[in-house]
Structure 1
Amino acid sequence: MTTVSPERISAVMALQPVAQSFAELEDRVRKGLPKAALQASVTHVARTPDEKRGLLFRIVPEATFKRRRDRLSPDESEKTERLARVFATALYVWDDEVDARDFLNTPHPLLEGRRPLDVAMTELGARRVEELLAKLFYGLPA
């Protein structure tokens, strides 16, 4: 599957201006994304206010999030970009935000019965979810 574009990933994070290349997106992640990028990503992925709150504070602890002025740390920014990338990939495959959100929040047998969202909390897990999405997109056996 073609890699989801940096423009699509930027759109999930509501970044302005939109990143035009992976190099630009990487630079912004390294320097620290705005807190709003995490909030926008979480809004796309979570279904309820409680899920949004839980996911946000899973990526950045509540006290830390409240202390942050404008920017996330590079580590928090990487987690935010990963969340946005996985959602953008699911959206590309399902072509519907509700279906993409449901996929990420529903346990999947090919992920040991875990939710793709939970698996994607690590980089290797995100790769597994992206690989599963590619197989679904192309109709390949899993």
Structure 2
Amino acid sequence: MSFTWRYAVRADGTFCRIGNLDGRLDHVTDEGLARIHPERDEDEPPAPCSRCGTELLLHWHGPLMTGVRMELCPACDSDRPAAHAFIQWYRNPGRDPKELPRLFEGWETETMHAHGWVRAPEPDAPPGPPVPLRVG
């Protein structure tokens, strides 16, 4: 079983990230992905930074079961390398959507590390099929 992320960037710069289990979404276009994942509610007020109160560029739930709320704040995060690169991309109207996976995952890794979490390394090869047990 393999797992990757698919990213789709909308024209306004918002984006969605959807889990792609065993390549099941490989054939889906970015427009199709954006339809699968609804846009945020326009009436939702901008989220304030929990550290300084400034309006966040982005807030995101950390990986499952971590309880981490990831915040991208231009005032608080500009000195962190991955966050700074993501802020620059996010603010650039001519942003390259192909850069999003690398930038997002760098920011996620950096943010989770600041909360005491470390990303597990990718396995060298997928596990093989189970070996049958011999009894007797």
Q: TM-score, normalised by structure 1?
A: 0.35
Q: TM-score, normalised by structure 2?
A: 0.36
Q: Which of the two has greater strand per residue?
A: 2
